[in-house]
Amino acid sequence: MTELPAQLQNLDVPAELRPKHIAVIMDGNGRWARAQGKPRIEGHMRGVESVRKVMDACREFGIEVLTLYCLSSENWKRPPEELEFLMELLKQYLIGEREKLVENNLKLRIIGRRERLPKDVQDEMDRTLEACRSNTGMTLCLAINYGARQELCDGVRSLCERARQDPQFELDSIDESTIDDSLYTAGLPDPDLLIRSSGEMRISNFLLWQISYAEIYVTDTLWPEFGRDALADAIQDYSRRQRRFGGIEEPSR
């Protein structure tokens, strides 16, 4: 067997057994803060530190795509002061991480409905996306004001609009590939591994189409405590699973 790169040797997972695309439901910021006797915003601030740790670890482990569920379309039900803080935290993250994203050659994707976000946040999104436009390394995909059902609705609308404008477009030609191309994640591979922190056993309206065959890993670790070692544990667990995609398990040899 070909010797693994040094950064994979300490993970002890052959390159062919690691996931190419990891998606993460980052949960537990509020519970972590409550357990520490701190305000919820402190949990969100610590959660950003975990984002940095996981992003760096994914680069170290040779992951091609990392998708993070940053803000769901349902999160607007939270108290106004918390939402205001989250918007400012997001803006500062986009500003503060911009140089590092460029230095590390990270590609950036942002998925979700951006129209509801404050204009200053949208402006920083555009500046960071432009700064990363020529990068060729790992893709960091941020799901912001994202909901999988709204993504599917937007995809259906785009196909209907295409059919209205293009007389040559036949509805009978719509297949899985056509739908893939109509989603926010068009051009990205489907996640191989979905991680959820904090022990909740829910998908929470995240990438419902894309995770059809993803392996799901749930950990009781709260997101502010999730880092490189926790990610390595998830990848180790993933590497031991048999992905049959509807087939049968290969007999042992």
Q: Active-site residue 56, yes or no? A: no
CA distance linking residue 234 with residue 75, whole number of Å: 26
CA distance linking residue 96 with residue 52, whole number of Å: 11
CA distance linking residue 244 with residue 222, whole number of Å: 30
The helix or strand, by DSSP H or E, that contains position 22, with its residue range, turns out to be strand 21-25
* Encoded tokens for 242: 């048999």
Residue type, 107: K
Both ends of the chain: CA-CA distance in Å? 18
Question: Catalytic one among 10, 12, 27, 172?
Answer: 27
Question: Catalytic one among 75, 104, 135, 205?
Answer: 75
Output 117-123 pairs: Cβ under 8 A, ≥24 positions apart. 117/87, 117/144, 117/145, 118/87, 118/91, 120/91, 121/87, 121/90, 121/91, 121/94
Q: Active-site residue 27, yes or no? A: yes
Positions marked catalytic: 27, 75
